[in-house]
Structure 1
C-alpha cells in the first residue's frame, strides 16, 4: 500500500525547499503546501502514535489499519518495531543519550511524565548529504590534549579531575561530571574566554566553525563544551553511524535517513532549553573513549546492488537498493514481519506474488506486508533509463 508520511516542523530543520524533508513531502503528498519560511525537520514513515503514516487510498492511519488487520501482516506483532525517518538538520539537535531496555523500563515506572514508554531507542543514521554529528567520547589522549591547551576548560574541570584522565573511564567520568554540574556562570565564563582567546586552537582542530555556530544557536550552553569531549563525525553520503544505548550523540548538520526503535525516551545533556536530567545522564553514559573512525557503522555489501545496515538488535535493519538502468529486474526475499520502502531516486515497478504491481517513483513510501509472498521484485520501467535508489526498513532478521 502507498503511504503518506508525517511531516514534522521544528526550529532545527532546514528552511523550505532547502530541506530534503520538504522536497520529498511534495512528491509524496500531492496537496502538500510549502511555506518558504518554515523549517521542515522530519518525515516519519511508520505507525508511531505521534505521527502515523496515512494509507494514501483511504487516508486511514497505518496504525489503525494494522490494529484491525490480521497480525500476520507484520509477523504476529502488535505494532511495527521500527520507525523510518528522513531528517533535515540545520541547527544542532540536543546532545542526548538513550537508556537500554532495563533502564527504560525503570525510568518509565519511576517518572512516566518524563520517560514516556518502557522501550529502548537505538538509532541508525545514514547520510544523504555531507552530515556532521557528535558521537561517543573521544580517545582519552585527545581530551587530555584539549585540557592541556585550553586553560579555561582545564580550570573549569579542575586539576585534580584532569589528572584522573589517565585512569580511563573513571577519570573521564570525573571530568565530565564536573563539567555537567558546574554553575551556569562558570560555564558562561569558560565559553566566553575560549571564544575570545582560542580561535587558533579551534581552527587547528577544525572546530572553529562548529564552536561558533553552537555559540550563536545556544549561547552559553554547557553542550558547547562537550565539543572537546565528544567525537566530531563528518559523514560522506552513504556512510552511517549506529547509536546504541548510553552513547552520547547529537546531529549537527545535514540530511540523513534515520531508523530507530519506536520510543520517545531521551536524556538530554546540552544544546537545548529542554529539561536536562543530569544525575540520570551521568550515571548512564558509556565513558569509553574511542577514535571517531571506530564509530562508523559498516554495512554488509550483499552484492553490487544491495547494502544491508543490520545492527546487533532485533528491532530494525535498513536495506539500500541501488540499480543502474541495465538491471531489468531484481528479486528480494520478503520477510514475514512487514517492511516500509522509501524511494529517493528513479522509477521502477514493485511486483509482489499476491498483490500485483505498484509504480515506484521518487517520494514513494510503500508498506509491504509480510504475507504478500516470498519475494518482491523491482522491475525496470520501460520508459525510464536512469538509476534507482531506495531504502527498505524492516524487522532485523539478517
Structure 2
C-alpha cells in the first residue's frame, strides 16, 4: 500500500500532571476523563507511534509505513539524513500542573553521553539512564490557551534585584553571590551552589524563602508572578532544590499563537496551559528538580547553557496569506500555523513528510492529483513526501498546525 494522505489514529499519554478536560474536549470525548491526559502524540515514536487509518478501516503503524518506503514517505533528502526515522514528533500538551525542571542535550552531547552509558553497561530502560538515544531534543511550544512556563536564565541583574528583595536572612549570602558577579559565570556559580545544597540546608532555607515570597506578594512587589510561582512549586514539591532554581528563570505567559523555541541546554519547565509542541524525535532529558525521578547534577551541568536574558517570543512569519511559520535553526522540525476564515484557502508545499492537526473548525484538503479529505477539530493527517502540495480550504473558520522537517 502506498500511503499518501491518510487520517491518523494517535496515542494519548496519561501523565499525572495532565488535564482531565483539554485533550478530551479537542477529540470530542466526554469530560472530565477518569484520569489526567497529558499529551497526544502524532508521529513515529517507537514508544507510541501513530497509525494511519487505511481505506478499508484497518490501521497500520506509521513506523511500518516509513520502514517500507522511506524515500517515498520522507523524501530523498530527509531519508538520506535521517534514514527511515521521522525526525520530529508533534504533540498536543495539556498541563494542569508543573512539569519537571529540565534541559536537553545537543547532538554532540547526546552522542557522547549515550556512548558513555553504553560502555558503562547502564541498561537502556534503567531509571538512572540519562540518554535513551544518541540524538538531540530541541523543542518548540506554541500556546493554544494562555500558557505559563519557566524558560531560560533571566538577566542576572534582574535576578539579583529579585533575590535581594526577598527578606530571608539565610538566603542573603546567596543573593550577594550573584549581586557581586551579575553575569553568566555568576549564574553558574549560584545555580551550582543551590542545586547541590544538602537536604538539611534546604530544609532550613526553603521555608524562609517561601515566607519571603508570601510577604513579597502581600506587599505587591514587582516580582509578584515569580513569587507566586515559587510558592506553588514549593507546595507541590516540598524540600526540592528545583524550587530555588526556579527563582533564576524567566517567567513567561504566552498568548494563543505565541511560541518559544527551546534549544539544547535551555533550562525550562512548563507550568500550566495547553499548547502544540514539536520536538526532535528523542527521549533525552536531563532533570534538575520538581520531580521524583533521577537527577544527575554533574551531567546536567555538562549540558546547561548559562547564557541569559529575555526569551524570544515567536508569533510566526506570514509566508502566505493565512499561513504562519515559526522559524528556528532546528534541522529536525518546523511548525506552521494555518488560520483561515470560512471559504478561504491556501496552498501548502513541502518536499518532505508532513503532519497536520485541526484545532478549530473544519477544512477540506485537496491534493494535486485530486484526492480530497475533510479534517475536523481534533483530527490529524499524514502527508507523504510524494504528495508535496495540498490545498487547504476552510469549510468554516479554521485553525490547523502543520509539522514538517526543518529546511536548513
TM-score by length of 1: 0.90
Deviations 1:90-111 (A, max 9, x none): 1110111101000000110112
1:250 maps onto 2:247 in alignment: no
Work out the CA distance in 2 between the residues paired with 1:92 and 1:345: 26
Residue 45 of structure 1 pairs with residue 42 of structure 2: yes
Alignment of 1:364 onto 2:379: yes
CA distance in 1, matches of 2:213, 2:150: 21
1:55 is displaced (CA, Å) by: 1.4
In structure 2, the partner of 1:155 is 171
Q: Supply the distance in 2 between the matched residues of 1:209 and 1:37 (Cα, whole angstroms).
A: 29
- TM-aligned CA distance change 1:133 to 1:69, over 3 Å: same
Does the residue aligned with 2:407 lie in a helix, a strand or coil? coil
Query: Any residues of structure 2 matched to 1:291-370 within 5 Å, and which?
Result: 291=310, 294-327=311-344, 329-333=345-349, 335-354=350-369, 356-370=371-385
CA gap of 1:395–1:148, structure 2 versus 1, over 3 A, is: same
* Secondary structure at the counterpart of residue 196 of structure 1: helix
Please tell me whether the aligned partners of residues 323 and 346 of structure 2 are also in contact (alpha carbons under 8 angstroms): no
Q: Does 1:137 align with 2:153?
A: yes
Query: Matches of 1:11 and 1:251 in 2, distance apart?
Result: 14
- C-alpha offsets along residues 294-340 of structure 1, whole Å, 9 cap, x if unaligned? 4313421224411101211211101101110141x32222x221100
CA separation of 1:355 and 1:83: change in aligned 2, threshold 3 A: farther
Post-superposition Cα deviations, 1:110-129, rounded to whole Å, max 9, x if no partner, equal 12531100000000000000
Q: Distance in 1 between matches of 2:368 and 2:7?
A: 17
Q: Distance in 2 between matches of 1:266 and 1:70?
A: 28
Task: Give the match's secondary structure for 1:233.
Answer: strand
Query: Which residue, out of 9, 13, 17, partners 1:4?
Result: 9
- Conserved 8 A contact 2:265-2:303: yes
Q: CA deviation at 1:355?
A: 6.0
Give the deviation of 1:228 after TM superposition.
1.4
User: What residue is the counterpart of 1:84 in the other structure?
Assistant: 90
Alignment correspondent of 2:51: 54
- Residue in 2 that maps onto 1:377: 391
1:18-33 equivalences under 5 Å are 18-19=21-22, 21-26=23-28
How far, CA to CA, are the matches of 2:36 and 2:336 in structure 1?
A: 28
The match for 2:3 is: none
Name the CA shift for 1:197/1:331 in 2 (closer, same or farther; >3 Å).
closer
Match of 1:213 among 216, 227, 232: 232
1:4-44 superposed Cα distances (whole Å, 9 cap, x missing partner): 111000110012xx22x2223446xxxxx877331000000
| CA–CA distance in structure 1, aligned partners of residues 92 and 338 of structure 2 | 17
CA contact (8 A) 1:5 1:25 kept: no
Q: Do 1:308 and 1:318's aligned partners in 2 also have CA atoms closer than 8 Å?
A: yes
Contiguous gaps of at least 5 residues in structure 1:
28-32
Given that residues 98 and 245 in structure 1 are in contact (C-alpha distance below 8 angstroms), is that contact kept between their aligned partners in structure 2? yes
1:212, distance to aligned residue in structure 2 (A): 2.3
Residue 132 (structure 2) aligns with: 116
Deviates more, 1:96-105 or 1:218-227: 218-227
Contact 1:137 1:231 in 2 (8 A): yes
TM-score, normalised to structure 2, is 0.88
Inter-partner Cα distance in structure 1 for 2:243 and 2:157: 20
Shift of 1:196: 2.7
Structure 2 distance, partners of 1:100, 1:198, is 35
Which residue does 1:282 correspond to in 2?
301
Matched, 1:105 2:122: no
C-alpha distance in 2, partners of 1:211/1:148?
15
**Secondary structure in 2 matching 1:172:** helix
Larger deviation, residues 206-215 vs 281-290: 206-215
Q: Are the equivalent residues in 2 in contact too, given 1:43–1:85 (CA < 8 A)? A: yes
Going from structure 1 to structure 2, the CA distance change for 1:325 and 1:275 (only over 3 Å counts) comes to same
CA distance in 1, matches of 2:399, 2:280: 24
Using the TM superposition, give the Cα deviation of residue 278 of structure 1 relative to its aligned residue in structure 2, in angstroms.
0.5
Which deviates the most, 197-206 or 111-120?
197-206
Following superposition, the deviation at residue 195 of structure 1 comes to 2.4
CA drift of 1:392 comes to 0.6
The answer for the alignment partner of 1:67 in structure 2 is 67
How much has 1:156 moved relative to structure 2?
A: 7.1
Show the counterpart of 1:184: 199
Q: How many residues align?
A: 380
RMSD: 2.0
Task: Report the Cα offset of residue 352 of structure 1.
Answer: 0.5
* Cα 1:156/1:97, change in 2 over 3 Å: farther
- Deviation, 1:193, is 1.2
- Indicate if the aligned counterparts of 1:157 and 1:178 stay in contact, CA closer than 8 A: no
